[in-house]
Structure 1
């Protein structure tokens, strides 16, 4: 009688050191690909709600509220939570619509085709050169 091949166990998935299940970005945003309104990556976000108001929120929303107890930019939120920038924009816009975070847009960011502040760009360039 020929010997039956033994099933091979699948290789262990690459782990980033956390035991959290993989959640696809579209699941975090409910399938949406764009925020309800334009949100600049340099826009600053601060929490306006206390922790009791965040109890029924999705874990991602709770993490953003917790992070933004100290003011953070949308880009920082994306990096610190290791989520794509587009997803971070959608989640932050959801929280702003619910009144749980305040968004401080840079001057002129709401205008279509607005140019960035030249003084700010020069300061950033100067800071980068000092590194």
Structure 2
């Protein structure tokens, strides 16, 4: 059961008896609702980049607070999950977050070169009608 409780600063906070504090999805994304790129579709594979030896941003270092950007715990969880390639939809399922929220979080990581995106192999093209007719003719000739 969710309810409002007074927090220590005199304000109210939402709590779920089983889960603790409830955070609205837009709070995780700073109010952003989408990532401005088409690369993060449902089946795109996300791979965490290896950390740099110097621990700097790019190539996997989280670079806490550098460049005006501080990663959220959800960013760190995504990087942990993506040590093995996962699709966007699998990440959303693991985090139990909406796809839009996950895309925004992934966009942050992508913008800071902490993850890479790999498109799945395209579905093989069907052979042309001419090729199929030649195969059928060849089979009949046997």
Normalised-by-shorter TM-score class: 0.5 to 0.7
Q: TM-score, normalised by structure 1?
A: 0.64
CA distance in 2, matches of 1:36, 1:107: 23
Q: Structure 1: 5+ residue runs without aligned partners?
A: 1-9, 109-116, 120-131
The question of 1:105 aligning with 2:134 is answered no
TM-aligned CA deviation for residue 118 of structure 1: 7.3
Give the gaps of 5 or more residues in structure 2. 6-14, 56-60, 65-70, 126-142
Report whether the alignment pairs 1:66 with 2:80. Answer: yes
Q: Tell me how far apart the structure 1 counterparts of residues 117 and 90 of structure 2 sit (CA, whole Å).
A: 14
Cα deviation digits, residues 46-104 of structure 1 (max 9, x gap): 00042952262210100001100010000000000110011111111110111000011
Runs of 4+ in 1 over 6 A off after TM superposition: none
Please report the RMSD computed on the Cα atoms of aligned residues, expressed in angstroms: 2.5
Secondary structure at the counterpart of residue 37 of structure 2? coil
Q: Does 1:91 align with 2:92?
A: no
Other structure's SS at 1:35 match: coil
Please say if residues 54 and 65 of structure 1, whose CA atoms lie closer than 8 Å, have aligned partners that are also in contact: no
The count of corresponding residues between Structure 1 and Structure 2 is: 98
Q: CA deviation at 1:23?
A: 1.6
After superposition, the Cα gap between the structure-2 partners of 1:50 and 1:118, relative to the gap in structure 1 and judged at 3 Å, is: same
Larger strand percent: 2
Deviates more, 1:71-80 or 1:97-106: 97-106
Higher radius of gyration, 1 or 2? 2
Is contact 1:40–1:105 with CA below 8 Å preserved after alignment? no
The alpha-carbon deviation at position 36 of structure 1 amounts to: 2.2
Q: Name 2:129's counterpart in structure 1.
A: none
TM-score by length of 2: 0.60
Of 46, 49, 54, 2:62 maps to 54
Residue equivalent to 1:75: 89
